[in-house]
Amino acid sequence: MTPKITQIETLLVDIPTIRPHKLSMTSMAVQTMVIVRLKDDQGSEGLGEGTTIGGLAYGPESPESIKMNIDRYLAPLLIGQSTDSVRYLMQRLNVAVKGNMIAKSALQTALVDLKGKHLGVPVSSLLGGAIHSHIPCLWVLASGNTEKDIAEAKELIAAGRHCDFKLKIGSRPVEEDVAHVAAIKAALGDSASVRVDVNQAWDEATAVKGMAALQEAGVDLVEQPTPAKDIDTLARLSNKFEIPILADEGVADSKDVYQFAKQGFNGGIALKIAKAGGPIPALEAAVVSESAGFGLYGGTLLEGSIGTAVAIHAWSTLPTLRWGSEMFGPLLLQDDIIKQPLRYHNNGVDVPNLPGLGIELDELKLAEYQRKD
């Protein structure tokens, strides 16, 4: 008999970051994750995670809304259902509930973890099978201080942990930001790829100025320089400069990718499990991106180990990640709630190959970081 879902528990977990992480819209000193524990009538458990950045600073879902909306609206649609078809269960959620993609992603993660455990196969196998066992992974320099960022990058290059770096800019005047980036690129030289993420902070005129200067400084990629909804602007910029643009906040799922292609965008796409609503729709966005000739990038919303692991499983099934990935979320946190941390080495991270996500919760750590009120 196929197992039935009996219980879905959500927990808010707060873990401090190793240093303040500064983005154009917020500065993070702590990361909050919504951890999902989905149980069946045979005593198995699937783990999921829904995580965003800076409360409501990044997008329309907050950790608290993710938890509340799972508890109140989404979980009741799954309780008592057979675990047989993940697609059927997601269809039930999508028909009854609009949006809430991070909450849906957390549930889809728990469902594929559970399914993988039942079948004794890693999540990557459920998604068609891994092509890669190691995924390239960059590091984000976001202390806000040029000298600190250079020292941090040099240490990581020497340790062989990362050789590609993304810099968070957009909160300061464009001249200051460009000077900061150019100094880091000059200090690291050709051995390191330096990219920037503006997180929508520039208007088109500022972007024209900023991109010309970043191109001159030898920067490899500019992520979401202008507002998410301004697809025409991003398309114009992508055809104006040699330096490529990576679309992030503007593109969540396969339909968005189609729209980008239609409006003449020419660049890369940051795939994110959380934006798409889970690993399955994220891979659908990858297929349309590849058809449109867009280079792929494995993106994060700075998830902890559970959200990062499911993304790594998904990206491992893609033939090529033109821009690599940024699945470094767990490394930004002071501690972890799983027993065996993900393995970062050789400028990347290993794809777990145990059943399900390949992750085991550390109950003591979970109790330590679980929000109490």
Q: Annotated active-site positions, please? A: 168
CB-based contact 153:141 (threshold 8 Å): yes
- Whose structure tokens read 């930004």? 332
DSSP β-bridge partners for residue 195: 166, 221
Q: Which does 302 bind (CB under 5 to 8 A by kind): Mg ion, ligand MUC, none?
A: ligand MUC
69 binds ligand MUC (CB under 6 A): no
Smallest gap, in angstroms, from Cβ of residue 246 to Mg ion?
Answer: 8
Answer for which of 181, 302, 318, 337 binds ligand MUC (CB under 6 A) is: 302
Smallest gap, in angstroms, from Cβ of residue 268 to ligand MUC?
Answer: 12
What SS3 state is found at 328?
coil
Answer for which of 248, 256, 303, 336 binds ligand MUC (CB under 6 A) is: 248
Contact stretch for ligand MUC (CB under 6 A) within 257-265, 295-303, 352-360, 361-369: 295-303
Answer for which of 193, 300, 308, 317 binds ligand MUC (CB under 6 A) is: 300
Residue ranges in 174-203 that form contacts with Mg ion under rule CB under 5 A: 197
Answer for which of 140, 163, 252, 285 binds ligand MUC (CB under 6 A) is: 140
Smallest gap, in angstroms, from Cβ of residue 284 to ligand MUC?
Answer: 20
Q: How far apart are CA 373 and CA 370, in angstroms?
A: 9
> What's CA 60's distance to the chain center, in Å?
16
336 binds Mg ion (CB under 5 A): no
Smallest gap, in angstroms, from Cβ of residue 107 to ligand MUC?
Answer: 22
303 binds Mg ion (CB under 5 A): no
What SS3 state is found at 169?
coil
Q: How far apart are CA 243 and CA 150, in angstroms?
A: 22
Residue ranges in 18-57 that form contacts with ligand MUC under rule CB under 6 A: 23, 53
Q: Which of 18, 32, 59 is CA-nearest to residue 224?
A: 59
Smallest gap, in angstroms, from Cβ of residue 116 to ligand MUC?
Answer: 26
Q: How far apart are CA 163 and CA 81, in angstroms?
A: 46
169 binds ligand MUC (CB under 6 A): no
* Sequence-distant (≥ 6) Cβ neighbours of residue 147 within 8 angstroms: none
The secondary element (H helix, E strand) that includes residue 176 is helix 174-188
Assign residue 195 a region (left: φ > 0; alpha: ψ between -120 and 50; beta: otherwise). Answer: beta
83 binds ligand MUC (CB under 6 A): no
The secondary element (H helix, E strand) that includes residue 139 is strand 139-141
Q: How far apart are CA 113 and CA 93, in angstroms?
A: 18
**DSSP secondary structure string for all residues of 215-242:** HHTT--EEE--S-TT-HHHHHHHHHH-S
CB-based contact 253:284 (threshold 8 Å): yes
Q: Which does 300 bind (CB under 5 to 8 A by kind): ligand MUC, Mg ion, none?
A: ligand MUC
Smallest gap, in angstroms, from Cβ of residue 39 to ligand MUC?
Answer: 31
- Residue 130 or residue 142: which is nearer to ligand MUC going by CB? 142
Answer for which of 32, 65, 199, 238 binds ligand MUC (CB under 6 A) is: 199
Residue ranges in 220-239 that form contacts with Mg ion under rule CB under 5 A: 223
Residue ranges in 303-342 that form contacts with ligand MUC under rule CB under 6 A: 326
Q: Which does 149 bind (CB under 5 to 8 A by kind): Mg ion, ligand MUC, none?
A: none
- Residue 237 or residue 302: which is nearer to ligand MUC going by CB? 302
Q: Which of 145, 113, 116, 158 is CA-nearest to residue 273?
A: 113
- Whose structure tokens read 């250079």? 150
CB-based contact 285:269 (threshold 8 Å): yes
Contact stretch for ligand MUC (CB under 6 A) within 2-10, 89-97, 113-121, 298-306: 298-306
Answer for which of 248, 303, 326, 336 binds Mg ion (CB under 5 A) is: 248
Smallest gap, in angstroms, from Cβ of residue 8 to ligand MUC?
Answer: 27
Take residue 329 and report the two structure tokens written for it.
């979320």
Binding site for ligand MUC (CB under 6 A): 23, 53, 140, 142, 168, 197, 199, 248, 299-302, 326
Which residues sit at the interface with Mg ion, rule CB under 5 A?
Answer: 197, 223, 248
